[in-house]
């Protein structure tokens, strides 16, 4: 890959926010930002022939909002990576963005380190890295935030329950062996009771009920998260 800076389109109807975000991204010399003050202006830039590696768009904008811009963008440039930015701390908002084609979302306020990490992670996606947000039926798992929700209901997960869910989600529809899960959720020095994994899986099953995907037990093989 060339060492030339990658171009990013920053879309927000507040000039101060555009300037702050652009300054954050321009600082390291890896990116060059163009700015758009509206959805219509962003579309005009996208159709001008200028190539962008990524678009970072506010959600709540006057006129064409972020979701509408996202839909129009995906119609024209389906492969365009998009990060949605929002001050609305509501999983349903993130879900709407992801289902309309966004690859990630960022909650305001954020710091330069977090912004840079999200941008780098998304640009690496083209080299085989998966999207940080996975949707399986009514289940939404956000690896960047270590959160999960079922039908908009946030799950309160203990650390090891999250570890089990994260591993099963990454391999949805495939069998994950008991040994692999044990290695993922317990360290070498942990004293592990014989039924410890079963306890965590049972608790996780209850939290996914009644609207979430089912965790199946395949005796002698391991566990599988139903991908349907």
Asked, for residue 137, whether it belongs to a domain, the answer is no
Contact 57, 85 (CB under 8 A): yes
135, part of any domain: no
106 & 180 share domain: no
Q: How many domains does the chain have?
A: 2
113 part of a folded domain: yes
pLDDT of 13 > 90? The answer is yes
- Cβ-proximal residues to 15 (8 Å cutoff; 6+ apart), any chain: 37
For residue 9, the SS3 value is strand
Give pLDDT tens digits for 166-214. Answer: 889 988 888 888 877 877 777 655 666 778 889 999 999 999 999 999 9
pLDDT tens-digit map of 24-80: 999 878 899 999 999 999 999 999 988 999 999 999 999 999 999 999 999 999 989
Task: Give the mean model confidence (pLDDT) for residues 217-228.
Answer: 85
Within this chain, do residues 125 and 151 fall inside the same structural domain, yes or no?
Answer: no
Mapping DSSP onto H, E and C, the string for 84-146 reads EEECCCCHHHHHHHHHCCCCEEEECCCCHHHHHHHHHHHHHHHHCCCCCEEEECCEEEECCCC
- How far from each other are the two terminal CA atoms of the chain, in whole angstroms? 37
Cβ–Cβ < 8 Å for 74, 80: yes
pLDDT greater than 60 at residue 128: no
How far, in Å, CA of 52 to CA of 72, rounded? 16
CATH of the domain at 211: 1.10.10.10
> Tell me, what's the pLDDT at 43?
96
- Residue 117 in domain: yes
Give the residue numbers spanning the domain of 201.
147-225
Give the per-residue pLDDT at 59: 93
pTM exceeding 0.95? no
Question: Which run of H or of E encompasses 82?
Answer: strand 82-86
Least confident of 6-20, 61-75, 82-96: 82-96
* Cα within 13 Å of Cα(86), Cβ side: 22
Q: Are residues 103 and 21 in the same domain?
A: yes
Bigger pLDDT: 189 or 81?
81
Q: Is residue 159 included in any domain, yes or no? A: yes
Q: Are residues 125 and 161 in the same domain?
A: no
The confidence score (pLDDT) of residue 40 equals: 96
**Residue 11 sits in the same domain as residue 87:** yes
43 and 103 together in one domain: yes
- Asked whether the beta carbons of 129 and 104 are under 8 A apart, the reply is no
Q: Judge if 119 and 70 occupy the same domain.
A: yes
pLDDT digits (tens, 9 = 90+) for 94-123: 767 877 888 877 878 887 877 887 788 778
Do 167 and 93 belong together in one domain? no
Peptide bond into 210 cis (omega under 30): yes
d(CA 136, CA 138) in angstroms, rounded, equals 6
110 with 162, same domain? no
CATH assignment of the domain containing 82: 3.40.50.2300
Token pair recorded at residue 80: 């365009």
54 and 124 part of one domain: yes
pLDDT band at residue 228, thresholds of 50, 70 and 90?
Answer: low
Q: Is residue 71 part of a domain?
A: yes
- Give the pLDDT score at 196: 86
Q: Is 189 in the same domain as 88?
A: no
pLDDT of residue 192: 66
Residue pointed to by tokens 């590696």: 53
Judge whether 21 lies within some domain: yes
């Amino acid at each position: 890959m060339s060492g030339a800076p990658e171009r990013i389109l920053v879309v927000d109807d507040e000039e101060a926010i555009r300037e702050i975000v652009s300054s954050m991204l321009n600082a390291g010399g890896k990116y060059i930002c163009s700015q758009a003050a509206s959805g219509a202006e962003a579309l005009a830039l996208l159709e001008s022939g200028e190539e962008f590696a990524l678009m970072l768009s506010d959600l709540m904008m006057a006129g064409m909002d972020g979701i509408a811009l996202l839909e129009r963008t995906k119609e024209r440039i389906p492969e365009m990576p998009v990060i949605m930015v929002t001050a609305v701390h509501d999983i349903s908002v993130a879900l709407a963005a992801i289902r309309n084609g966004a690859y990630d979302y960022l909650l305001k306020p954020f710091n330069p380190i977090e912004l840079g990490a999200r941008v780098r992670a998304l640009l690496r996606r083209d080299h085989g890295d998966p999207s940080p947000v996975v949707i399986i039926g009514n289940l939404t798992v956000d690896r960047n935030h270590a959160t999960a929700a079922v039908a908009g209901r946030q799950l309160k997960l203990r650390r090891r329950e999250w570890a089990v869910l994260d591993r099963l989600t990454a391999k949805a529809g495939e069998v994950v062996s008991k040994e692999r899960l044990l290695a993922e959720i317990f360290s070498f020095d942990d004293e592990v009771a014989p039924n410890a994994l079963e306890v965590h899986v049972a608790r996780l099953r209850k939290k996914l009920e009644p609207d979430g995907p089912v965790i199946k037990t395949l005796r002698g093989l391991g566990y599988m998260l139903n991908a349907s």
